Amino acid sequence: MAKLEIHQFPTRGDNYGVLIHDPGTGATAAIDAPDAQDLLAALEETGWALTDILVTHHHFDHTAGIEAVKRKTGCTVTGPAREAGAIPGLDTEVKEGDEVVVGGAKAQVIETPGHTRGHVSYYFPDEDIVFVGDTLFSVGCGKLLEGDAKTMWSSLSKLAVLPEDTKVYCGHEYTDANCRFALTVEPENEALQARAKEAAANAAKGAPSLPSTIGQELATNPFLRASSPAIQKRLGMEGRPLDEVFGEVRHRKDVI
């Protein structure tokens, strides 16, 4: 079993890039390629040689660096079959249940549409890590740009059942602002209050609040907590279908 080394770095303002490295084989993958220069600098810094890019979705701030990095490193680009036409340099198309190998580490592809039509997440069960792109954020979730609330709720529900100690790496750092919104939806949540304090302290010193864990998200993220009686009551939606409660939380976040 590989034990992946991980290097996380800020890029393009509020994006976060991630490199994973299997020291046993030397294989190294980038999760998305927001910016070629920043990604190449991260490779230089770590001394790792890129073998793969695992793409979560087609948005420019996740794919802009693919072509230049591929030219420079000769890496293989893997991404969602459902967005194949929109991802430059794509070599391998993947769908739900496919296995992706990075050196000795294996990932399962989980289709998580909603933010985009074909968004995928990469779950490494033996490493207790999931890369969720713009589907799930720390105390937040992606905007519903190409899907409805029902679709996104179904995607989030697939991530919510992963083991609670699974580390969650997402595409952007919005934790501090997300906590402030979450407190308007569920102010009585003590785990959320503590997380908000921690996120504010991290933000003040320019440190990331990433990665989080599935357990932390279940306890604090209002977009995973549609079944919370306090949230349902606050929204006046007691007993309503969970995807509708989720949809209302998403709507409120969109209009603030």
CB 230 within 8 A of CB 182: no
**Among 21, 58, 59, 82, contact with Zn ion (rule: CB under 5 A):** 59
Which range, of 100-108, 126-134, 159-167, 225-233, touches Zn ion by CB under 5 A?
126-134
Q: How far is the CB of 143 from Zn ion (least distance, A)?
A: 8
251 is catalytic: no
Which range, of 51-59, 85-93, 212-220, 240-248, touches Zn ion by CB under 5 A?
51-59
Q: How far is the CB of 136 from Zn ion (least distance, A)?
A: 12
Which range, of 56-64, 96-104, 181-189, 231-239, touches Zn ion by CB under 5 A?
56-64
Candidate list 32, 52, 134, 176, residue with the active-site label:
134
Rounded CA separation 9/33 (Å): 12
15's CB contacts (< 8 A; 6+ apart) are: 34, 35, 61, 62, 171, 172
**Among 32, 35, 83, 134, contact with Zn ion (rule: CB under 5 A):** 134
Rounded CA separation 52/133 (Å): 16
CB atoms within 10 A of CB 31: 27
173 binds Zn ion (CB under 5 A): no
57 is catalytic: yes
How big is the chain by its Cα radius of gyration, in Å?
Answer: 18
Candidate list 58, 59, 119, 176, residue with the active-site label:
59
Rounded CA separation 28/6 (Å): 10
CB 223 within 8 A of CB 142: no
Nearer to Zn ion, 59 or 70 (CB): 59
Candidate list 22, 115, 119, 176, residue with the active-site label:
115
Q: 3-class SS at 173?
A: coil
22 is catalytic: no
Residue matched to tokens 């079959």: 81
61 is catalytic: yes
Q: Which residues would be at the binding site for Zn ion (CB under 5 A)?
A: 59, 134
Catalytic residue numbers?
Answer: 57, 59, 61-62, 115, 134, 172
